[in-house]
Amino acid sequence: MSRWVITAEPTARIPELAEVPARFTVDRVLDVTQQDGRVTLTERAVPGPWEKDYDALPGEGPAAWGERFDLREWGFLAARISGRCIGGAVVAPGPPAEGPWLMDLRVAPGHRRTGVGTALFAAAARWAAGRGFGRLRIETQNNNVAACRFYARQGCSLIAAIRDAYPSLPEEVQLIWHKSLSRQPEGVADAGQ
């Protein structure tokens, strides 16, 4: 397999990330229970798997963000092979006390489980830390079990589970994770195989 490289890119290129599929098969969900301020996730199989694609929702996904948000202060980290985008991470700054959001992290299906996602996450954390932030916040949902496992492996902590966060998707529970960061000088270039 060819080498991939991760670089910071102009936010004007964020819509290009929409060419990398973000869809996934939902064959498991995480049941959420909360007690005494503690959130517990219990994995279970679903009887009828389905495909989930957040980019297919009206107004969602990287191609639509420029219409909804001011992207000038956002960060775009792209993973490329021979100039072709095979994945990316997008970080949106937030208030200093709260930290920025990892708005999107995706890797093309043929390049998943090769270290690209881990390298993109690390680059996003460096981007945030290089701007003086002490943590990175991440949102996902209880039907994206692979993403939840990934963020846990990256050292993220689940800090909130919010039911009814998505009125048009009442069966989904919003999960908020955070990653504590060491403030450090900026630098995002990474290379892998």
Per-residue model confidence (pLDDT) at position 4: 93
List the chain domain ranges.
4-192
Question: Does residue 2 have a pLDDT over 90?
Answer: no
Nearest-angstrom CA–CA distance, 78 and 107:
10
Instruction: Give the global pTM.
Output: 0.91
- Which residue is associated with the tokens 């995480």? 30
Per-residue model confidence (pLDDT) at position 111: 95
Nearest-angstrom CA–CA distance, 76 and 154:
19
Nearest-angstrom CA–CA distance, 60 and 188:
26
pLDDT tens, 59-73?
889 999 999 999 999
CATH 3.40.630.30 fits 4-192, yes or no: yes
Q: Which residues pair with 77 in a beta bridge?
A: 8, 89
CB atoms within 10 A of CB 105: 25
Per-residue model confidence (pLDDT) at position 192: 52
At CB < 8 A and 24+ separation, what contacts does 7-12 make? 7/77, 7/78, 7/80, 7/188, 7/189, 8/75, 8/76, 8/77, 8/123, 8/127, 8/188, 9/76, 9/77, 9/78, 10/76, 11/71, 11/72, 11/74, 11/75, 11/76, 12/71
Question: Of 132-141, 160-169, 184-193, which range is least confident?
Answer: 184-193
Nearest alpha carbon to residue 141 among 36, 58, 64, 26: 26
Nearest-angstrom CA–CA distance, 55 and 63:
8
pLDDT tens, 170-182?
999 999 999 999 8
